[in-house]
């Protein structure tokens, strides 16, 4: 039966199931396939901290949200058009986010008495009237999967592991997508287990054919390619983009990359990615703890490598003393913080922007350092590259802030070629004449000292954590010298403002009633909200900061162009403190501290209030 | 140029213009002198040598060595050196640390560095006290030690440093002392020649806060009775007239009179014997107890095991051979590319 094809501009889907249901894999595959069709995409994986939380419970629900469209997609969407619920718990956690008249695809086998009880239902929600507003498609996915695999020779448990492929195949039919990409993926994933390739591909096709033959749909949907700027694209996740940015900086600076780190959620994927690329000269070192990871980076930088470490808040806290040493030594290194909910162990798999003040102030003594932040999954590449550039050209440790949301989220990336990227020039000591004395802490006009490496003859010198004498770098307890050195170190960081781009108004009005001043992973949602408000006739501007320390030199002037300044943050108000401190402006915070990103709606509401009051 | 290449280095070439700030009479002076004196024998240029220390009195050491150096933070010299060694395997790296620095705040890094067996030399200045913070007990202070922080005696059972190192699968462990420059020099040279992590414990007298901690091993009157100088291939003989030896009674080492001993029972030192090394590190009795064993000095154990940094280089070379030298453009594009017109 040939069905009508209905065009959609954008679709938001939430895949939800038990944390053992393969939800993340299903979502990723659906994302990758749509990416190859040229859709613009934004994803938001949301899963529990436990590897296998108790099966069937609310705590064990794993979700993967994505929005794909033929128009620009900057957020994974607020409410969803389609909810896939593999069991009652997944249904309960996510049903509130389904739009009115949305479609819900239910695995009916996940709603038996036990599932209902675990999800806290007295009666099955599928049987009451609450679903009348939705279009409900109930499929016994377990049964269908087992039927498809009846001749496979697999046990029931093994068969059930392919259930996610049935759902994926069904959605591929629904959205008029080919199966080839996922089949290719399955062939690679199970290269050593041909029986599993056959089983998974079989179930994927069964799901697809079920869509075709079951008469569930009167029409299929199509989301055309987005009109993205011309060029070559790939889909990329934030942590992967960070790793690539670091390797690119290593290649463009001619320095091998040393990566010392200790496993921590959500930063570990950077280590996993880098460890794959030893043929780029990457030395990835899994240290015994966070402190050792940081110190090994200091040793590597002293030896002339591009030293990098990454962690999340708790690990960064442990590294703080050594970062201070890095500042005292004035050696280049980058510290990546993939932020998560805190304090303490906090919410390991949930996102937050609450380590900004830790990056800004979290060391003993006067210890300023540059901070660069990433805005979107693909922007992690630019931010990582830029953090390395600043470190190497200004001889300083640099903080790169990412967070769990963009680290695990993905989007299409118009990737650069190697030739598009600028060269980075490390600040090596120039050739010296025989009679010259080498002064390790002598500085250039940017107050940057030269980098002399072990093995360079005639430059033997000692560095350390004790206060340095101006120029010589010898230990000094002289009071005037200390004050002078504290000021020099601060000015050196301030001068980095000369080498970074001026701030632009990223979106919306160049001047007007309201400014949204954001940083980090809120970029997409603020951009979407500002666009919407301007369409509705409000005059709203959006400035998004990549450089938080130092700020671009013109930021203060830009802030004067607006009557109200709103600072949206996934924390209890951190950037806003720095902004108020530096610019004496009456900025107002818009804060959400729930471990999840803002919705567009939440931002728009606050902007609207400003206009109502005005 | 040719002159600097051919002129052999001397100990003096390794001194710096910095004033030495240890207390007069400190054991550290002796170690500095011996280290400077063996440097020319390494056969390395000054610029290829790096001294890294943590925090503590002895950790001032790098400032007095005219090589590359870093005075890092408390307990972390080992971790800094690990990163340096992975990055620059060809450098001669020396770690200067103390009993507090290496065994208390830096205990974790020490054992992990040892198991990875980086080719570095560790000089562990053990004075059984915290000197720089002015006299608190350390992880090697004996039980009951009265110090500023333990006015009625320490409750801590001390570490046996070399046993700890052996427990972490150290490939070279040795002990020497500040008051025996000749022996110190010998051990330092052997350590420097070992390829892998050389753990050298140095009994070092803190004449201000813990004077005489090792007197029994250094004092003329007791030294010969209480010390046992290890020589590979030779029986363990000691005593004022070298009249005593160590014999094995089953698996238990006991002090015997050499003249009366059954030659077959005598322990013969074998640096390559890891089981015997376990016994030797256990010669750790309080010299005041009846029937105690003498304290051994010298090289306890040495073995050849792969070095982390060399294995890392091999992995990089292997990956490069297998996958080709990294191509940034291929990395950036990945394998699933689409084009927007």
Would you call B314 helix, strand, or coil by DSSP?
helix
Give me the residues of B, 299-318, that contact A with CB < 8 A: 312, 315-316, 318
- Answer yes or no: do B83 and A298 touch at CB < 8 A: yes
Percent of chain A clearing pLDDT 70 (strictly above): 99
Structure tokens at A422: 């600028």
- Answer yes or no: do A279 and B323 touch at CB < 8 A: yes
pLDDT at B341: 82
Nearest to A333 by CA among A365, A383, A294: A294
Produce one character per residue of A64-102: b if its CB has 16 or more CB atoms within 10 Å, e if not.
bbbbbbbeebbbbbbbbbbbbbbbbbbbbbbbebbbeeb
Contacts of A251 in chain B (CB under 8 A): 326, 328
Contacts of B331 in chain A (CB under 8 A): 244, 247, 277, 280
Break chain B into its structural domains and give their ranges.
25-231+270-309, 235-268
Whether residue A64 is found in the same domain as residue A143:
yes
Q: Chain B within 8 Å of A455 (Cβ-Cβ)? A: yes
CATH of domain B25-231+270-309: 3.40.50.970
Whether residue A205 is found in the same domain as residue A267:
no
**What is the average pLDDT across A333-339?**
98
Confidence grade of residue A53 (pLDDT, cut at 50, 70, 90): confident
Q: Chain A within 8 Å of B83 (Cβ-Cβ)? A: yes
- Answer yes or no: do B337 and A291 touch at CB < 8 A: no
Would residue A334 count as lying in a domain? Answer: yes
**Smallest Cα distance from A475 to chain B, Å:** 9
Contacts of B120 in chain A (CB under 8 A): none
pLDDT at A529: 97
Q: What is the tens place of the pLDDT at every residue in A100-109?
A: 999 999 999 9
Q: Chain A within 8 Å of B3 (Cβ-Cβ)? A: no
Confidence grade of residue A614 (pLDDT, cut at 50, 70, 90): low
Contacts of B318 in chain A (CB under 8 A): 278
Name the β-bridge partners of B92. Answer: B49
pLDDT at B3: 46
pLDDT at A517: 98
Nearest to B340 among A230, A251, A295 (CB): A230
Whether residue A143 is found in the same domain as residue A267:
no
- Answer yes or no: do A292 and B68 touch at CB < 8 A: no
- Answer yes or no: do A460 and B336 touch at CB < 8 A: no
Q: Chain B within 8 Å of A59 (Cβ-Cβ)? A: no
B169 alpha-carbon distance from chain centroid? 14
Element (H, E) at B316: helix B308-323
**What is the average pLDDT across B183-190?**
98
Q: What is the tens place of the pLDDT at every residue in B234-245?
A: 999 999 999 999
Q: What is the tens place of the pLDDT at every residue in A452-499?
A: 999 999 999 999 999 999 999 999 999 999 999 999 999 999 999 999
Residue A343 clears pLDDT 90, i.e. is over it: yes
Average pLDDT, chain B: 96
Structure tokens at A237: 């996740």
* Residue A41, CA distances (Å) to A284, A329, A579, B71 in order: 31, 43, 32, 50
User: How many inter-chain contacts (A to B, CB under 8 Å) are there?
Assistant: 207
Nearest to A288 among B109, B322, B323 (CB): B109
Q: What is the tens place of the pLDDT at every residue in A363-396?
A: 999 999 999 999 999 999 999 999 999 999 999 9
Residue A434 clears pLDDT 90, i.e. is over it: no
Structure tokens at B217: 């091993």
- Answer yes or no: do B320 and A230 touch at CB < 8 A: no
**Smallest Cα distance from B170 to chain A, Å:** 17
Contacts of B68 in chain A (CB under 8 A): 454, 460-462
Domain limit, last residue, from A402, A420, A438: A420
Contacts of A46 (CB under 8 A, 6+ apart): A62, A63, A64, A65, A349, A350, A596
Predicted ipTM?
0.97
Q: What is the tens place of the pLDDT at every residue in B260-307?
A: 999 999 999 999 999 999 999 999 999 999 889 999 999 999 999 999
Q: Report phi then psi at A302, rounded to 5.
A: -60, -35
Measured at the alpha carbon of residue B72, what is the angle toward residues B66 and B77, in degrees to the nearest 5? Answer: 95
- Answer yes or no: do B76 and A461 touch at CB < 8 A: no
**Smallest Cα distance from A351 to chain B, Å:** 26
Whether residue A100 is found in the same domain as residue A53:
yes
CA distance B157 to B140: 8
Whether residue A264 is found in the same domain as residue A212:
no
Nearest to B312 among A235, A283, A299 (CB): A283
pLDDT at A599: 95
CA distance A586 to A382: 31
- Answer yes or no: do B326 and A465 touch at CB < 8 A: no
Domain limit, last residue, from A222, A244, A262: A222
pLDDT at A612: 82
pLDDT at A613: 63
- Answer yes or no: do B63 and A298 touch at CB < 8 A: no
Would residue A488 count as lying in a domain? Answer: no
Give me the residues of B, 120-159, that contact A with CB < 8 A: none
Contacts of B326 in chain A (CB under 8 A): 247, 251, 277, 279-281
Residue B2 clears pLDDT 60, i.e. is over it: no
CATH classification at residue A523: 3.40.50.920
Would residue A228 count as lying in a domain? Answer: no
Nearest to B72 among A283, A325, A457 (CB): A325
Residue A1 clears pLDDT 80, i.e. is over it: no
Catalogue the E-assigned strands of A131-193. 135-139
Structure tokens at A139: 């499929």
Contacts of B88 in chain A (CB under 8 A): 303-304, 454-455
Nearest to B333 among A32, A230, A234 (CB): A234
Contacts of B336 in chain A (CB under 8 A): 32, 35-36, 181, 234-235
Would residue A260 count as lying in a domain? Answer: yes
Q: Chain B within 8 Å of A29 (Cβ-Cβ)? A: no
Q: Chain A within 8 Å of B57 (Cβ-Cβ)? A: no
- Answer yes or no: do B87 and A229 touch at CB < 8 A: no
CA distance A527 to A507: 6
Nearest to A299 among B87, B336, B337 (CB): B87
Whether residue A304 is found in the same domain as residue A190:
no
**Smallest Cα distance from B59 to chain A, Å:** 10
Whether residue A70 is found in the same domain as residue A209:
yes
Pinpoint the alpha helices (H) of A571-599.
575-583
Q: What is the tens place of the pLDDT at every residue in A206-232?
A: 999 999 888 777 788 999 999 989 999
Confidence grade of residue B7 (pLDDT, cut at 50, 70, 90): confident
CATH classification at residue A123: 3.40.920.10
Whether residue A66 is found in the same domain as residue A96:
yes
Average pLDDT, chain A: 95
Confidence grade of residue A431 (pLDDT, cut at 50, 70, 90): confident
Q: Would you say B160 and B153 are in contact if contact means Cβ atoms under 8 Å apart?
A: no
Whether residue A287 is found in the same domain as residue A191:
no
pLDDT at B5: 52
Whether residue A246 is found in the same domain as residue A126:
no
Nearest to A247 by CA among A293, A323, A308: A308
Whether residue A133 is found in the same domain as residue A164:
yes
Q: Residue A220 burial (CB < 10 Å; 0-12/13-18/19+)? A: middle
The domain in which residue A393 lies consists of: 235-420
Residue A401 clears pLDDT 50, i.e. is over it: yes
pLDDT at B1: 40
Contacts of A244 in chain B (CB under 8 A): 331-332
Query: What's the half-sphere exposure (Cβ side, CA atoms, 13 Å) at B4?
Result: 8
Residue B80 clears pLDDT 90, i.e. is over it: yes
**Domains held by chain A: number:** 3
**What is the average pLDDT across B23-43?**
97
pLDDT at A2: 63
Domain limit, last residue, from A420, A442, A477: A420
Q: What is the tens place of the pLDDT at every residue in A523-547?
A: 999 999 999 999 999 999 999 999 9
Whether residue A284 is found in the same domain as residue A250:
yes
């Amino acid at each position: 039966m040939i069905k009508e094809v209905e065009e959609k501009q954008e679709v938001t889907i939430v895949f939800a199931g038990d944390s053992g249901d393969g939800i993340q894999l299903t979502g990723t595959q659906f994302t990758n396939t749509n990416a190859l069709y040229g859709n613009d995409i934004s994803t938001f994986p949301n899963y529990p901290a436990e590897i296998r939380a108790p099966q069937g419970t609310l705590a064990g629900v794993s979700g993967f949200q994505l929005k794909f469209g033929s128009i620009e997609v900057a957020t994974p969407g607020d409410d969803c058009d389609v909810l896939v619920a593999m069991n009652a718990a997944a249904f309960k956690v996510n049903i509130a986010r389904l739009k009115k008249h949305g479609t819900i695809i239910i695995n009916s086998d996940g709603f038996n008495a036990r599932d209902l009880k675990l999800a806290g239902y007295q009666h099955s929600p599928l049987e009451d009237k609450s679903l009348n507003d939705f279009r409900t498609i109930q499929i016994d996915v377990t049964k269908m999967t087992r039927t498809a695999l009846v001749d496979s020779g697999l046990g029931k448990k093994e068969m059930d592991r392919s259930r996610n492929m049935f759902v994926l195949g069904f959605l591929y039919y629904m959205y008029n997508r080919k199966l080839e990409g996922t089949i290719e993926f399955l062939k690679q994933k199970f290269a050593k287990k041909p029986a599993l390739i056959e089983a998974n591909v079989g179930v994927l096709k069964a799901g697809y054919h079920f869509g075709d033959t079951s008469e569930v749909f009167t029409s299929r949907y199509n989301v055309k390619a987005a009109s993205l700027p011309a060029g070559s694209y790939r889909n990329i996740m934030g942590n992967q983009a960070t790793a690539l940015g670091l390797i690119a900086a290593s290649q463009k600076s001619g320095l091998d990359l040393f990566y010392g780190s200790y496993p921590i959620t959500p930063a570990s994927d950077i280590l996993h990615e880098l460890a794959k690329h030893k043929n780029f000269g990457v030395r990835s070192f899994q240290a015994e703890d966070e402190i050792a990871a940081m110190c090994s980076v200091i040793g590597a930088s002293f030896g002339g490598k591009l030293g990098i470490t990454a962690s999340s808040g708790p690990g960064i806290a442990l590294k703080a003393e050594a970062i201070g040493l890095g500042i005292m030594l004035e050696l280049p290194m980058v510290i990546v913080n993939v932020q998560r909910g805190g304090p303490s162990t906090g919410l390991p798999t949930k996102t937050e922007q609450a380590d900004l003040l830790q990056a800004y102030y979290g060391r003993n003594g006067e210890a300023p350092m540059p901070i660069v932040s990433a805005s979107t999954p693909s922007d992690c590449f630019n931010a990582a590259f830029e953090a390395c550039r600043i470190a190497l050209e200004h001889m300083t440790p640099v903080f790169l802030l990412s967070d769990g949301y963009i680290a695990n989220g993905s989007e299409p990336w118009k990737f650069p070629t190697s030739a598009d990227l600028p060269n980075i020039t490390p600040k090596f000591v120039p050739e010296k004449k025989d009679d010259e004395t080498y002064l390790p802490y002598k500085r250039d006009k940017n107050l940057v000292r030269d980098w002399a490496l072990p093995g360079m003859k005639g430059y033997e010198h000692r560095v350390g954590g004790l206060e340095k004498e101006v120029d010589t770098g010898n230990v000094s307890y002289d009071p005037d010298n200390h004050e002078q050195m504290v000021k020099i170190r601060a000015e050196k960081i301030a001068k980095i403002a000369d080498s970074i781009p001026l701030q632009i108004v990223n979106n919306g009005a160049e001047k007007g009633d309201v400014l949204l001043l954001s940083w980090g992973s809120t970029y997409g949602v603020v951009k979407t909200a500002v666009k919407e408000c301007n369409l509705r006739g409000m005059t709203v501007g959006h400035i998004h900061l990549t450089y938080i320390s130092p700020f671009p030199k013109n930021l203060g002037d830009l802030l004067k162009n607006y009557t109200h300044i709103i600072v949206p943050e996934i924390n209890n108000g951190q950037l806003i403190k720095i902004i108020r401190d530096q610019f004496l402006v009456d900025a107002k915070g818009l804060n959400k501290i729930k471990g999840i990103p803002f919705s567009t709606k939440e931002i728009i509401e606050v902007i609207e209030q400003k206009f109502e009051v005005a | 140029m040719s002159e600097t290449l051919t002129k052999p280095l001397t100990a003096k070439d390794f001194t710096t213009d910095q004033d030495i700030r240890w207390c007069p009479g400190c054991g550290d002076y002796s170690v500095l002198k011996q280290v400077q004196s063996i440097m020319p024998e390494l056969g390395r240029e000054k610029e290829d040598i790096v001294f890294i220390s943590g925090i503590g009195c002895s950790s001032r050491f790098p400032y007095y060595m005219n090589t590359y150096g870093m005075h890092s933070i408390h307990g972390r010299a080992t971790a800094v050196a690990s990163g340096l060694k992975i990055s620059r395997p060809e450098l001669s790296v020396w770690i200067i640390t103390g009993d507090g620095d290496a065994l208390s705040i830096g205990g974790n890094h020490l054992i992990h560095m040892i198991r990875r067996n980086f080719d570095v030399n560790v000089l562990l200045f053990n004075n059984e006290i915290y000197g720089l913070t002015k006299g608190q007990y350390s992880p090697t202070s004996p039980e009951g030690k009265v110090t500023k922080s333990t006015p009625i005696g320490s409750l801590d059972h001390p570490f046996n440093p070399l046993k700890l190192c052996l427990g972490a699968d150290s490939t070279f462990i040795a002990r020497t002392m500040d008051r025996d420059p000749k022996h110190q020099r010998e051990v330092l040279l052997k350590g420097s020649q070992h390829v892998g992590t050389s753990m050298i414990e140095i009994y070092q007298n803190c004449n201000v806060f813990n004077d005489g901690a090792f007197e029994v091993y250094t004092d003329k009157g007791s030294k010969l009775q209480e010390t046992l100088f290890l020589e590979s291939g030779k029986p363990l003989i000691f005593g004022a007239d070298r009249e005593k030896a160590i014999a094995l009674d089953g698996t238990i080492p006991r002090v015997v009179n050499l003249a009366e001993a059954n030659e077959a029972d005598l322990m013969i030192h074998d640096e390559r014997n890891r089981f015997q090394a376990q016994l030797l590190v256990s010669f750790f009795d309080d010299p005041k107890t009846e029937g105690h064993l003498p304290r051994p000095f010298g090289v306890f154990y040495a073995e050849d095991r792969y070095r982390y940094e060399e294995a890392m280089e091999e992995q990089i070379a292997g990956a490069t051979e297998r996958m080709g030298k990294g191509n940034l453009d291929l990395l950036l594009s990945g394998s699933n590319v689409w084009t927007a017109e």
